[in-house]
Amino acid sequence: MTPDQARGRNGGLRLAGYAALYGVPDAARDTILPGAFARTLKDRRDPLPLYWQHQPEQRIGWIEQVEEDDRGLRIIASIDNPASRAAAQLKARAVSGLSFGYRARGYRHEPSGRVLEDVDLFEVSLVTHPLQHGARVHFVSP
């Protein structure tokens, strides 16, 4: 299956939410600044995978849309198999956290923690416990 076929064209479950929030320190004391994803989103050519709990061997779908807005990094994604464990837990609201895999390219250290100014975005994950408590799925649609 190609990424285009997997990206919402197969009857999979769709979700929307924020993988990151600006100006809100996470549990690791990282704070993301607005615009931190601008370069990586502009340069990215391939679709971003949606993983289960940051496990590359457990790709559960694809990110259909990703953009920065005033609040943070907003995503719309699809889960390939609506009968999967991940889809069932999402529908039951047993899991609603979002997170992202990245490499910090530009950052500075402050007494409150690290401030991320530029990051390479590799993936988004559906997770049980996001480092940034407010990074959540806010809409699920079959």
Domains of the chain by range and CATH? 3-141 (3.20.16.10)
Q: Does residue 88 sit in helix, strand or coil?
A: helix
pLDDT, the chain, mean:
92
Which band of pLDDT confidence, cut at 50, 70 and 90, is reported for residue 76? very high
**Predicted local distance difference test score (pLDDT) of residue 7:** 42
Residue 50 burial (CB < 10 Å; 0-12/13-18/19+)?
buried
Pairing status of strand 49-52 against strand 113-127: parallel
Q: pLDDT by residue (tens digit) across 100-142?
A: 999 999 999 999 999 999 999 999 999 999 999 999 999 998 6
| Confidence check: pLDDT of 30 > 80 | yes
**Main-chain dihedrals φ then ψ at residue 44, nearest 5 degrees:** -70, 130
User: With bands split at pLDDT 50, 70 and 90, how would you rate the model's confidence at 12?
Assistant: confident
Tally of CB atoms within 10 A around 46: 7
Please write the tens of the pLDDT for every residue from 41-50: 999 999 999 9
